[in-house]
Structure 1
Amino acid sequence: MDKQNSKYRWVVFGTVLLSYFFIVTQRTAPGLISDQIMKEFHVTAATIGLLTSIQFFAYAGLQIPIGILSDRFGPNFFLIVGTFLNGVGTIIYSLAQNEAILLVARLLVGMGDATIWVNIVLILSGWFKSKEFVGLLGIAGMSGSFGFLTATVPFSAWIALSGWRTPFLIVGLILCLCGLLLYYVLVKKSRELFSSYSEKKVSSERIQDKDENLLKRLFSNRQAWATFFCHFGLVGTYVGFIGSWAVPYGMHVYGMTRSAASQLIMVGLIGAIIGAPLTSWISGRFSSLKKPYIVVHMIVFLSWLGFLLFNGKPPVYLLIPFFFFIGYGNGASALTFAVVRESFALKEVGVISGFANTGGFLSAVLLPSLFGKILDHYHLQASVIGYHYGFMIPVLFALLGLMGGVLIKEKSQRDKRTKEISS
C-alpha cells in the first residue's frame, strides 16, 4: 500500500496535530503566571525573561542538529522523544520549589519542543503529495494557533480556579500519553500496515563530508537566509512577547484583570488561526509565495511600530487590530516552510527547515530577556515608560523579517512544474 494514497495518512495527520496542539500550549502558558512566579519565588523581571529565553534558547540551538539527524534517520523517533521530553519538563515545572528547578524544567520543554515542527514538516512531506503540502501546512499552523488560544482565557480560568500547578501537571501527563499514541500510530501500526515501512538508515562512511558540504551550502545560500530572517521577524516577536510580557503588559499599562489581558491576547491568537490557512490559500490563488508574504511582513512591522509611536500605550481601538495583525503574521509564517519545500530537495528539507526555525526562536530567546532588562531599568518610573522603550526591540526584529521577505527568490512556474514532477 502506498502511504501517500492511503486513508491511514489522515490518522497520522490527526495524531500529529493533536500532539502539536498540546505542545504549543506550553510555549506561552507560563506567560500567564509571570507575576505569580515573581511573587512566589521572589525573582526579578529579568529572571522571568531568562526562564522564557532558556526554553527558546534550547529550541533555537537544536534546530539545525535536529534537522540533520531527522533527514538522516527519519522524523518519527525524534517527534516521539520530543513529545515525552515536553511532557516530563511540564510535570517538573508544576512541582518546582525553586527557580533552579523552574529553569531545568523549561530547558527540558525547550529541548522537546525543538524536535517537533521540523519533524512535522518531514512527516507531512513523506505521507502527503507535494500538491497537498502547502494547504496541510496551513492547517497544521492553525492547530498550533488553537494551542496558543487554549493557553489564554481557558488556561487562565483554570489557573484562577485551581492554582497554577494543577493545570501544568495535567497537561504534562497528557503530553506523555501523546508520546505513547505517536509511537503506536507512527511506528507500531505503520509497520503492520506498510511492509515497506522503515526509518532512514544511512551508512557512516560519507556522513561527515555530506554534512559539512550541506552546512557550507546552507550558510552561503540566500534563500536559506531569507527564510531565517522571515521567521526571525514574525515568529520570535510574537512568541517571545506573548510567552512572557503580553499579559503583564495588559495588566500594568491598561489596568486589566488577568482574564481581561488574556482575552486581549486571544485576539492575536484568532489572527494566527486565520492567518495560516488564509495566507496559504491566497498564495495558492495567486501562484506566489513571496508577494503575499511581503505584504504580511509589512503589516506586522507597522503594527509593532504603532506600539512605539503611541509611547507604549496605543488607544484600545488600535490595540486590538495591532494584536490581531501580529498574530496573523505568526499564523502566516507557515509560508516559510512552503518556501523551503519549494526551493530545496526533499532530502534537505529537514535541515533547512531547522535553520529557518532557528531564526524564529533566536528572536524569541532575545526578546523576553532584553524586554525584561528594559522593564527592570525603568522599574522606579511609570511602568508604561519601560514598555515604550521595550517595543523598540520587536520593531527592529520585524524590520529584519521584512528584509527576509524581500530576499526570497521565487521560482518560475516552469521550475515549479519540474520540481513537482521530480517529487
Structure 2
Amino acid sequence: MDKQNSKFRWVIFASVLFTYLIMSSQRTAPGLITDQLMTDFSVTASTIGLVTSIQFLVYTGLQIPMGILADRYGPNFFLITGTALTGAGTIIYSLGTHEAVLFFARILTGIGDATIWVNMILILSLWFNEKEFTRLIGFAGMTGSLGFLLATVPFSVFIVILGWRGAFLSAGLLLCLCSVFLYFVLIKKSNQSAVVKPSTVPHERVPVMLNLRKMLSNRQAWGLFLCHFGLVGGYIGFIGSWAVPYGMEIYGMTRIEASRLIMISLVGALIGAPLIGWISSCLNTIKRPYMVFHFAVLLLWSAFLLFQAHPPFYLLVILFFLIGFGFGSNSLTFAAIRHSFPVKESGMVSGFANTGGFLSAVLLPGIFGYILDHFQSTAGNIAQGYYFGFFTPVIFSLFGLIGVMSIKEKRTEVTHKKTTEKVTEE
C-alpha cells in the first residue's frame, strides 16, 4: 500500500486522533471529583494530589524510553497496547475501594498515556508527507486541547448523570474498544505487523546508548527540548494549577467565574494549533513563525509583571486567550523533528522534546506555589507573591525563545526550487 497517497490514511488520522481525544481527557478528569474522593476514601488533599501527580511523573519519565522502543519496534504495537492500558487503568480507578488502588490505577494510566503522543507522531509521519504533516500536526495539538475541554463541563455532566464511578468506567470501556479498533485499522486493514521484526528493519541496528549519546550531543535536539520546555510549562503548569486561585484571590471571582479564564485559554489553543500549523505549511518554514510565537508568549507573560500581576480585566481576558493561542504553536516542535531527523531517530527525539515540555509542567506549579507560600508567610501579601511568581513563566518562556533561536531549518523545497530556476536560466 502506498501510504502517503492512500485515502486510507485519513481513516488512520481520524482513528488515532479520536483515541488521543479520549486519552487526553482522562489526564485531568480526576480533578473534577477531588472533593468526592476525599469524602469517599477519607483521605487528605495531599494524598489526592499525589495520586493525581503520579500519572504525569510516569508520563514524563517514560517519554525517552518510549521513543527508543517506537523507533526500534514500530509505533503500532505500543499505541494499541498503551490505549488498552489506559482503558484498564481507568476501569480499575472507577472500581477502586482503597487509595492504594487509585494510586496503582493512575500509574497504569500514566504508562498507557506515555505511549500516545510519540507513537501518534510516528504513525502520522509514515502516512503523510512532510508538507501535510506540518499542516496536520496542528490538528493533533488541537485534539489534546479538546480533550482537556471535554474533561470540564461535558464530563462533569456525565458524572452527575452516572456518578463518578459510572463515568470513569464508561470512559475506560470506550478506551478498550478504541484499542480493539486501532488493532483492526493499524494491523489488519493496513496489512502491517504489530511489531517490526529485527530482520525486517531496513537500516542497520545501532546500540541504544550510542543513539542516546548522539542525541544528547545534538544542538538541534536540545533546541527543540527547550522550545517545548518554554511553551508547555507556562500554559499547562499555570493554567492547570494556579489560574483559578489567581482569579479568585486577585480579582475576587467565584470559582466558576475563574474557571472561565481556563475555558478562554483553551479556546485560544483550539484556534491556534491548526491555524499556526497551516500558516507554517503555507510559508514553507517552521522556524520563523515558531520564533514569532515564542517571542509573543514571552511578551504576554511579561505583561503580568508590567501590571504588577493585576492587569485590567479586559486585558486579562485577552492575555489568557493569546497565551492559549501561542501555546498552540508547540506542535511545530514535532514538525521540526519530522524535517530535521531521519525516521529511525524521530521517535527518540520526539520523546526527548516532549520530556522537556512536561518537565516544565511538573516544575512550574511547585516553584510558583513555593513563591506564593513564601510571600504569604513572610509579608502576608498574596498579590506580591503572584507578582514574583509570574517571573517563573517569563523565565521558562525565555528558555523557549533561546531554544527556537538555536535550531536550524532545512529548507529543502525552497532550495530545490531555487536550484531549478538557476538551471532553467542557464
- Say if 2:152 is the partner of 1:152: yes
Structure 1: gaps of 5 or more residues = 419-423
Q: Residues 16-56 of structure 1: CA distance to partner in whole angstroms, max 9, x if unpaired? A: 11001111112233344556656775534x65654444222
Amino acid at match of 2:408: K
Distance 1:170 1:198, change over 3 A: closer
Equivalent positions of 1:144-293 (< 5 A) are 144-159=144-159, 164-191=164-191, 199-202=195-198, 209-293=206-290
Distance 1:55 1:376, change over 3 A: farther
Structure 1 residue 415, shift from structure 2 partner: 8.1
Does the 8 A contact of 1:375 with 1:387 survive in 2? Answer: yes
Structure 1 residue 240, shift from structure 2 partner: 2.6
Aligned to 2:368: 371
Equivalent positions of 1:117-156 (< 5 A) are 117-156=117-156
SS of equivalent to 2:228: helix
Q: TM-score, normalised by structure 1?
A: 0.87
Runs of 4+ that moved beyond 6 A? 204-208
Aligned to 1:82: 82
* Bigger-Rg structure (1/2): 2
- Say if 2:329 is the partner of 1:332: yes
Q: TM-score, normalised by structure 2?
A: 0.86
More off after superposition, 251-260 vs 271-280 = 251-260
Structure 1 residue 153, shift from structure 2 partner: 3.0
Amino acid at match of 1:71: D
Partners in 1 of 2:67 and 2:325 — Cα distance?
26
Amino acid at match of 1:336: T
Aligned to 2:389: 390
Does the 8 A contact of 1:153 with 1:263 survive in 2? Answer: no
Partners in 1 of 2:96 and 2:349 — Cα distance?
36
Structure 1 residue 117, shift from structure 2 partner: 0.8
Partners in 1 of 2:89 and 2:371 — Cα distance?
29
Task: Name the count of aligned residue pairs.
Answer: 413
Structure 1 residue 354, shift from structure 2 partner: 0.9
Partners in 2 of 1:163 and 1:388 — Cα distance?
40
* CA RMSD in angstroms, aligned pairs only: 3.0
Structure 1 residue 345, shift from structure 2 partner: 0.9
Distance 1:248 1:48, change over 3 A: farther
Amino acid at match of 1:245: W
Partners in 2 of 1:249 and 1:37 — Cα distance?
24
Partners in 1 of 2:35 and 2:390 — Cα distance?
20
Partners in 2 of 1:256 and 1:3 — Cα distance?
52
Does the 8 A contact of 2:23 with 2:147 survive in 1? Answer: yes
Q: Percent identity?
A: 59
Aligned to 2:405: 406
More off after superposition, 315-324 vs 370-379 = 370-379
Structure 1 residue 68, shift from structure 2 partner: 1.0
| Match 2:301 to one of 300, 304, 313 | 304
Amino acid at match of 1:169: L
Structure 1 residue 360, shift from structure 2 partner: 0.5
Amino acid at match of 1:43: T
Aligned to 1:69: 69
